A and B are shown apart, each in its own frame.
Chain A
Amino acid sequence: MTYIAKPKISLPNLPKNELGLTTRDYEGAVSTLCAGCGHDSVTAALIQAVFELDIEPHMLAKMSGIGCSSKTPAYFVSEAHGFNSVHGRMPSVTTGANAANRDMTYIGVSGDGDSLSIGVGQFVHAIRRNLNMCYLIENNGVYGLTKGQFSASADIGTKPKKGLPNQQEPIDPASAALALGATYIARSFSGDKEQLIPLIKGAIMHSGFSLVDIISPCVTFNDHEGSTKSYAHTREFYRHVANIDYIHPTEEIRVSYDEGEALPIHLRGGDTIVLRKVDRDYDPTSRADAFKHLRDRFNAGEITTGLLYVNEDRAEMHELMHNIDTPLSRLPYEGLHPGNDELQKLQSRYR
């Protein structure tokens, strides 16, 4: 960690967003993670994303569980709401919060341990419900807080700092989410903000569950030679298949890329993203293709990144439940509570 806080210097030419805020206004406390942690880059990308989306800090909820990753909410948007839940239980808490107030933006930050080991049951059911949230996994393949044991996302053959290589099959959160029917699935790398920031923006604006699996190297326990989640390994083997540009509502859509490579996708909430294919053969709107491609490239030792799958046809949790548009938290008590007489009537039906 660092002893001094990042100095607040009000530079005159710092860009402002539509709310008149600068990126400095979206920062949080100074990170206590190890110097060089990938998670800090993810934090920086998050700050940039919410700044560019003009999100009002008080309309943002930062949700997390336990782990190095789950400290992230402390490091961005101090003015937002936050909940640091029990280990692996962030999706349930977010479900509750979202059920009560559907108007807010929910960003959950989790890790490979929090989501793929202790919280894997919570993770899959949040997808099943198509909970409207942006779910980030800061994926480093190890339990950093407990000194670097392999996590459920460690690849076969990856070497620890000490001891024997991993032999167990890894859980790939992107493939798992695809199998479970998630509607926005992306993968990126903490060291590639150019790709990561638009993917996070798309994930926030997507209506329904959106997953961004971010390879975020553990600089202390998993950045050595032989590790498949180190900075060097990730840089060598990661491939872009399809990137996106988020189009701000005030911008006109200029598809300036080669014909056939850029595809506008209209999000259910009214926003637009432009899909920019890097691999011409990749079709992120086809679940079957995406699954096959992911498995093939994974078997070839590559890390496929970009917007892997997007489906704007599925309704999110509130729509599936036919809830009213007004957040429940804003309904008057009388509207939520049927009153004693109605409850008595209801009870009598079961007597």
Chain B
Amino acid sequence: MKPTDTSNPEYFHKVVDCQWGCPAHTDVPSYIRMIAQGQFSDAYMENRKSNVFPGILGRVCDRPCEPACRRGRVEDKPVAICRLKRVAADHRDDITERLPKAPEKTNGKKIALLGAGCASLTVANDLAPMGYEVTIFEALDTTGGLMRTNIPSFRLPPAVLDEEIGYILDMGVDLKLGHRINSMKDLLDEGFDAVFVGTGAPKGKNLEIPGRYDSDRIHIGIEWLESVAFEHIKEIGKKVLIIGVGNTAMDCCRTSLRLGADDVKVMARKPRGFFKASEWELEDAEEENVEILVNHSPKEFVYEDGKLVGMKFDLMEYNIEENGRIDRGTSTGEVVIPCDDVVLAIGQDNAFPWIERDLGIEFDKWDCPVVNETTMMCTRDGIFFGGDSAFGPKNIIWAVEHGHQAAISIHKYCHGEDLHDRLPMGLNLSTQKMGMHEWSYSNDYDGVSRQLVPHVGLKERFKKLNIEVELGFSAEQAAEEVERCLNCDIQTVFTESLCIECDACLDICPVNCLTITPNGEEQDIRARLKAPALNPDQALYVSGALPHTARVMVKDEDICVHCGLCAERCPTGAWDMQKSTILVPYAADEAASDQPQAATGGAAK
């Protein structure tokens, strides 16, 4: 194998699994260390730099970082990254002084943002401080988009939304509530320099089976949740069936319990393991005694005397193929399950009835706009998409990242620059050695298990719709949980010219991830390491030829716990522990780079 090219920022970035897994590249280990030192405001600001809504995301993020977390490969449970984010938000001081502000004079460029959800707000957050005149058009009378209408208040209190959205609006954003855009053409005539569409995927999928339109007790999940959020709906029948088993279904079943239902069943077409809902959302629903019935495929609605009394399902049987795929299944019988109400939570679609089709905006066969994944621009110059409206339903953190990228593109577009000529990610490495055996970070491995977030009691929480169920970590729990972080951003950096091949690092490594071996092909090397490298998704860090024997040092990045013992036991300093800071470019960096220079990772803000 060739020596690993660590000058490519991607290499060390990928070692930081959480940051690599996060669409917005939040520097998780850094903010966890800040929490450990009680610097909650700093931790909050570190989060805000990349994910803009730490308080919101600390509660309801889809957490792609957690399944990626290395701790989950060393032990069974990842670090509770999301909950620690909330700790930073809960314990921060007033940080308003530290927020970016709009300059006194604008730059004269007018940007229209459609929808006041997380994608548009992120664009505003990035552009307003640069002097852009930003206008947000929102159809509803309130901000937040799906974050407010679809996420129940017992998971995300409106006060949290208002505060973090307020930070952005206070940057001098012109917010037009209750202002539905009914024609893209008319909007374009208003002379905006660029338009960003962040209108989400607002159309709940329907279920076209017999009896669908014969009752007003059959609801479409996201519309129903919105009506609940705006208190247009305040009750539901005793027996409720939720069709679908995604995260919206989890919100629907838990909301039903708070509106008077006492028998809520979630009807899944497929077996467990094929659910769309996140593991923790399923757990939270089941904690509230929601029953999840698997292998039930909806067939028709059942009526008696014109009243909805139940639903008929096919009982399904599936074959799971060797590659883990599931077949279409066969019906083995039917069953009728009684109910008073049905909520359909089987997905949502984009809908753009308000975009005229003769504007040069190309739509694909699913009637979605064709959007460039790098620039977020559609086929008509100057119109950008982000969030669910760009590529269909994803999640908040993806919408935020879309917003950042769109902001960069909008800036470049307004300045006549090539949208594809974007600043690359940068990387800084700095040693963390403080003394003989002292490191700037807590390098000892702490075997403590993942802390459980305390919940409001099962009786108490149902008294009102908006009682937040999760209480957040106590100070003691947070102190324990931060120590579980393996500091994957403190990289093991090797200098082969210094190595005397004494084996000290190999002998001390607690996870046997180091080997000195003759060079060879990757497959071959993987098989003859001290502990065979079985996870091909994780890189091997291969040195050049060592001075004494021309063998190579190989590190399997898979389960390194970054304890720094290799560096401590190294007599020559060939191993060093260095903090890798991934410099993620934002719109402000692009502006600063008009005189070319590297990205500052948001420092320019």
Binary A-proximity of B496-540 (CB < 8 A = 1, otherwise 0): 000011111011101100000000000000000001001000000
Q: Are A41 and B561 in contact (CB under 8 A)?
A: no
Contact of A9 (CB < 8 Å), options: B507, B549, B561, B569: B561
Interface residues on A, range: 20 to 34
A36 to B571, CA, bound (A): 5
Q: Is A2 an interface residue (CB 8 A)?
A: yes
Q: Which A residues from 307 to 331 make CB contacts under 8 A with B? A: none
A14 to B534, CA, bound (A): 12
Q: Which A residues from 179 to 203 make CB contacts under 8 A with B? A: 190-191, 193
Interface-side segment among B115-123, B215-223, B441-449, B470-478: B441-449
A144 to chain B, nearest CB (A): 13
Q: Is A7 an interface residue (CB 8 A)?
A: yes
Q: Is B548 an interface residue (CB 8 A)?
A: yes
B71 to chain A, nearest CB (A): 11
Contact of B445 (CB < 8 Å), options: A7, A11, A193: A7
In the complex, what residues of B have CB within 8 A of residue A40's CB? Answer: 503-504, 507-508, 569
Q: Is A99 an interface residue (CB 8 A)?
A: no
Q: Is B568 an interface residue (CB 8 A)?
A: yes
Contact of B502 (CB < 8 Å), options: A7, A13, A191: A191
In the complex, what residues of B have CB within 8 A of residue A190's CB? Answer: 502-503
A191 to B438, CA, bound (A): 27
Q: Are A9 and B502 in contact (CB under 8 A)?
A: no
Q: Are A235 and B504 in contact (CB under 8 A)?
A: no
Q: Which B residues from 435 to 461 make CB contacts under 8 A with A? A: 437-438, 443-445, 447
Q: Are A36 and B511 in contact (CB under 8 A)?
A: no
In the complex, what residues of B have CB within 8 A of residue A11's CB? Answer: 74, 511, 531, 559
Q: A7-B563, A9-B510, A9-B511 are in contact. Are A232 and B500 (CB under 8 A)?
A: yes
In the complex, what residues of A have CB within 8 A of residue B331's CB? Answer: none
A235 to B444, CA, bound (A): 34
Most chain-B Cβ atoms within 10 A of its Cβ — which of A14, A36, A219? A36
In the complex, what residues of B have CB within 8 A of residue A254's CB? Answer: none
A82 to chain B, nearest CB (A): 20
Q: Is B572 an interface residue (CB 8 A)?
A: yes
Q: Is B570 an interface residue (CB 8 A)?
A: yes
Binary A-proximity of B562-581 (CB < 8 A = 1, otherwise 0): 01010011111000000000
Q: Are B74 and A9 in contact (CB under 8 A)?
A: yes
Q: Which A residues from 209 to 229 make CB contacts under 8 A with B? A: 217, 219, 223
In the complex, what residues of B have CB within 8 A of residue A36's CB? Answer: 500, 502, 504, 569-572
A136 to B339, CA, bound (A): 79
In the complex, what residues of A have CB within 8 A of residue B503's CB? Answer: 40-41, 44, 190-191, 193
Q: Are B548 and A44 in contact (CB under 8 A)?
A: no
A219 to B443, CA, bound (A): 25
Interface residues on B, range: 20 to 34
Q: Is A35 an interface residue (CB 8 A)?
A: yes
Q: Is A6 an interface residue (CB 8 A)?
A: yes
B539 to chain A, nearest CB (A): 19
Residue of B at shortest CB range from A41?
Answer: B503
A44 to B445, CA, bound (A): 21
Q: Are A235 and B501 in contact (CB under 8 A)?
A: yes
A191 to B511, CA, bound (A): 20
Q: A2-B565, A7-B561, A9-B561 are in contact. Are A34 and B571 (CB under 8 A)?
A: yes
In the complex, what residues of B have CB within 8 A of residue A43's CB? Answer: 507
Residue of A at shortest CB range from B569?
Answer: A35
Q: Are A8 and B565 in contact (CB under 8 A)?
A: no
Q: Are A6 and B510 in contact (CB under 8 A)?
A: yes
In the complex, what residues of A have CB within 8 A of residue B508's CB? Answer: 2, 6, 40
B560 to chain A, nearest CB (A): 11
Q: A6-B508, A11-B74, A34-B571 are in contact. Are A41 and B502 (CB under 8 A)?
A: yes
Binary B-proximity of A32-61 (CB < 8 A = 1, otherwise 0): 001111101101100000000000000000
Q: Are A223 and B500 in contact (CB under 8 A)?
A: yes
A154 to B570, CA, bound (A): 26
A281 to B548, CA, bound (A): 28
* Residues of B contacting A: mostly: loop
Q: Are A41 and B507 in contact (CB under 8 A)?
A: yes
A311 to B563, CA, bound (A): 46
Q: Are B565 and A6 in contact (CB under 8 A)?
A: yes
A39 to chain B, nearest CB (A): 10
A2 to B439, CA, bound (A): 12
B573 to chain A, nearest CB (A): 10
Q: A9-B445, A232-B548, A235-B549 are in contact. Are A35 and B571 (CB under 8 A)?
A: yes
A302 to chain B, nearest CB (A): 17
In the complex, what residues of B have CB within 8 A of residue A350's CB? Answer: none
Contact of A41 (CB < 8 Å), options: B447, B504, B568: B504
A41 to B505, CA, bound (A): 10
A2 to B443, CA, bound (A): 12
Q: Is A4 an interface residue (CB 8 A)?
A: yes
Contact of A4 (CB < 8 Å), options: B74, B548, B563: B563
In the complex, what residues of B have CB within 8 A of residue A2's CB? Answer: 437, 508, 565, 568-569
In the complex, what residues of A have CB within 8 A of residue B561's CB? Answer: 7, 9
A330 to B534, CA, bound (A): 48
A194 to chain B, nearest CB (A): 10
In the complex, what residues of A have CB within 8 A of residue B500's CB? Answer: 36, 219, 223, 231-232
In the complex, what residues of A have CB within 8 A of residue B438's CB? Answer: 3
A285 to B385, CA, bound (A): 81
A193 to B571, CA, bound (A): 19
Residue of A at shortest CB range from B446?
Answer: A7
Q: A35-B570, A36-B570, A191-B501 are in contact. Are A231 and B548 (CB under 8 A)?
A: yes
Most chain-A Cβ atoms within 10 A of its Cβ — which of B506, B534, B565? B565
Residue of B at shortest CB range from A38?
Answer: B502
A57 to chain B, nearest CB (A): 19
In the complex, what residues of B have CB within 8 A of residue A44's CB? Answer: 503, 506-507
In the complex, what residues of A have CB within 8 A of residue B502's CB? Answer: 36-38, 41, 190-191, 217, 219, 231
A329 to B531, CA, bound (A): 41
In the complex, what residues of A have CB within 8 A of residue B572's CB? Answer: 36
Other A-B pairs, 9, CB within 8 Å; known A9-B75, A235-B548: A1-B437, A7-B444, A9-B445, A9-B447, A9-B561, A36-B502, A190-B502, A191-B503, A219-B500
Binding site for B on A (CB under 8 A): 1-4, 6-9, 11, 13-14, 34-38, 40-41, 43-44, 190-191, 193, 217, 219, 223, 231-232, 235
